[in-house]
Structure 1
Amino acid sequence: MSTFEETLKAVNIKKVVILGCSGAIGNALVEALISRFPEASIYGFSRTSHSHSFSEKSDRYQEARIEYEDEESIAKCAALAAETGPLDLVIVATGILHQGGLMPEKSLKDLSAEKMTALYQANCITPTLLAKHFIPQLSKKSASVFAALSARVGSISDNALGGWYAYRASKSALNMVIKNAGIETARRNKSAVIVGLHPGTVDSDLSKPFQANVPAGKLFRPLDSANYLLDTLLELTPSQTGKCFAWDGQEIAP
């Protein structure tokens, strides 16, 4: 297998970054990574203090604060993570669906500039700025991945229900950023894979108001979702860059 065709499965993963490590999925990703990659150094970034100290479980885990609305903070965190070498895996586990009085819209009459601005900032602008500073730090010598949590509802062709205007649109915009970044990155780093990830419906604060409608067996524990996502990422090759994949490895239509 040539370097350009390598998957992460064939690589000795040494450096991993989780952005949004204080969230349900981000927290679970850290836990799964510590367990699955005993030799990797793992960096967690979050705006808030973590609820668990993974440093007690592993001296390979470090955590630092990041301000997502401050690009200088993002740049400093990217430099910090890559201080001792290039990155093999970066996962952006940030984003919002609802917050305070902001809830998904059922119709056009529920739309507001405030809602759209808040969701675009969290779900598209922030991941884009993270991509800007973390993708250049990916390894060029072996397979590497930058992945951002997206959502199946960001698929335009898969939308049969409507509603959720701001959330759907912000995730669609993120998927376009991922596509663009995949094309651009391939010119400079042929070993890199840039993808979006749909984690499924995870038992978290984000999904709590909507869990009543989730089919039996489709509400995942955060740790289960984290392991499914890692399984998917380990199998990706550069030929799949710019695409969006679900937790089970299935490609999501644009």
Structure 2
Amino acid sequence: MAIIIFGAAGGLGQALTQALQQSTDETVVAISRRQPQQQLDGVDYLAVDDYQSAKLAQWIADYDATAEPITGVISTIGVLHDGTIEPEKNLQALAADKLAHSFYVNASLPLLLLKQFLPKLDRKRTRFWVQLSAKVGSISDNYLGGWYGYRASKAALNMMLKSASIELGRTHKQLCVAAIHPGTTDTALSKPFQKHVAKDKLYSPEQSAARIMAVIAKLSPEQSGKLWHWDGTELPY
């Protein structure tokens, strides 16, 4: 049995990898675009240039899901800023290429990975496919505006996960497809914006990882297709 985590080199990805390594007897496969600074004993690491690379495609093709079924997947893939994009404060800041980049990383890429891995997901034993999302992607919860690309791409992600949950509910009846909002975590993603976050609302990667794992532990097929807050409550789309 194996659990796969994407984005394993990021702050939250590393914390989730450690939480999995400490809490499960299953094989943990940590996939990232660079090697994590710290590699844990008992974890299988795979570094790829891109999540749509030939290297990852070959790894997936060679993976023997019969010998070691995948019981769950966690993806932390996402971008808020990366040196080429940053959250837009107003309409004047919008640019087509930057919007396209946000949508590719935050919405398209996670679903393309699900498409790639689908043949390897056991119809009876794969329990969860979890993608980290964001509360700011909730349309009904948007009271501040701004952050156009990030908000919209996360909303698109939530919609595509919802559609996937309906489709896979017919074929993979034990699977829960879920989006989880981890809260503002003290990582590189949130670093430029932490001065606006109250101290008690900024969480360590270890704290967020533990909360995410607690939400995952309670997921069931009947809850597939929903957006979850880190405290286990359902968030509106």
TM-score normalised according to structure 1 size: 0.88
**Residue identity opposite 1:195 in structure 2:** A
Per the alignment, do residues 74 and 173 of structure 1 end up closer, same or farther by CA in structure 2, a change over 3 Å counting? farther
Q: Does 1:76 align with 2:63?
A: no
Structure 2: any 5+ residue segments left out of the alignment? none
**Residue identity opposite 1:119 in structure 2:** S
CA distance in 1, matches of 2:147, 2:209: 25
- Of 159, 166, 182, the match for 1:176: 159
Match of 1:15 in 2: 2
Match of 1:189 in 2: 172
Q: Deviations over 1:29-49 (max 9, x none)?
A: 000011111x11000111112
CA distance in 2, matches of 1:125, 1:82: 26
Q: Secondary structure of 2:46's partner?
A: strand
Per the alignment, do residues 81 and 218 of structure 1 end up closer, same or farther by CA in structure 2, a change over 3 Å counting? farther
- Of 150, 155, 166, the match for 2:133: 150
Per the alignment, do residues 97 and 81 of structure 1 end up closer, same or farther by CA in structure 2, a change over 3 Å counting? farther
Contact 2:87 2:150 in 1 (8 A): yes
Per the alignment, do residues 230 and 74 of structure 1 end up closer, same or farther by CA in structure 2, a change over 3 Å counting? same
CA distance in 1, matches of 2:53, 2:84: 27
CA distance in 2, matches of 1:183, 1:109: 37
Match of 2:103 in 1: 120
* Aligned ranges 1:191-206 → 2 under 5 Å: 191-206=174-189
CA distance in 2, matches of 1:90, 1:82: 16
CA distance in 1, matches of 2:84, 2:101: 11
Large movers: runs of 4+ above 6 Å: none
**Residue identity opposite 2:10 in structure 1:** G
CA distance in 2, matches of 1:177, 1:106: 26
Match of 2:192 in 1: 209
Contact 1:18 1:92 in 2 (8 A): yes
**Residue identity opposite 1:129 in structure 2:** L
Contact 1:90 1:134 in 2 (8 A): no
Range 26-35 or range 73-82, more displaced = 73-82
Per the alignment, do residues 63 and 143 of structure 1 end up closer, same or farther by CA in structure 2, a change over 3 Å counting? closer
Aligned length: 236
Match of 1:90 in 2: 73
Contact 2:133 2:181 in 1 (8 A): yes
Contact 2:69 2:126 in 1 (8 A): no
CA distance in 1, matches of 2:126, 2:44: 23
- Of 30, 54, 58, the match for 1:44: 30
Contact 1:198 1:247 in 2 (8 A): yes
Structure 1: any 5+ residue segments left out of the alignment? 1-13
Contact 2:70 2:126 in 1 (8 A): no
Match of 1:9 in 2: none
Cα distance, 1:126 vs. partner? 1.1
Per the alignment, do residues 125 and 143 of structure 1 end up closer, same or farther by CA in structure 2, a change over 3 Å counting? closer
Contact 1:139 1:192 in 2 (8 A): no
Structural RMSD (CA): 1.6
Contact 1:135 1:146 in 2 (8 A): no
Q: Does 1:65 align with 2:47?
A: yes
Cα distance, 1:79 vs. partner? 3.8
CA distance in 2, matches of 1:166, 1:25: 22
State percent identity of aligned pairs.
Answer: 39
Match of 1:111 in 2: 94
**Residue identity opposite 1:22 in structure 2:** A
Q: Secondary structure of 1:220's partner?
A: coil
Contact 1:120 1:166 in 2 (8 A): yes
**Residue identity opposite 1:31 in structure 2:** Q
